[in-house]
Amino acid sequence: MAEIQFLDGKFVVDDVYVGPIKEATNGAPERFPFKDVMKSLGNVFTKGYLRKAQSKIIADHLRIHGG
């Protein structure tokens, strides 16, 4: 568990959210309300998932077809 300062106060969040919160706020969670940051985390997780999927597709293509 980690305590993070947001625009509207300090909130305790699970460790798994610390990195995505920093990514969603460009390292400055104190500039954003907690509720808005938590709403935007879905986008962060989706982008991460898509990056991993894209990397796998590219790696598979290069493995099969060379590069």
Total number of domains in the chain: 1
Q: What is the pLDDT of residue 67?
A: 64
pLDDT per residue as tens, the chain (67 positions): 999 999 999 999 988 889 999 989 999 999 999 999 999 888 777 877 778 888 888 888 888 887 6
- In b/e form, how buried is each residue of 6-31, taking b as 16+ CB within 10 angstroms? beeeebebeeebeebbebbbeeebee
- Which pLDDT belongs to residue 55? 86
Three-class SS state of 12? strand
Q: Which domain holds residue 60?
A: 2-65
CA 29 to CA 19: how far, in whole Å?
A: 11
pLDDT at 34 (0 to 100): 97
Instruction: Report the pLDDT value the prediction gives residue 26, as an integer from 0 to 100.
Output: 94
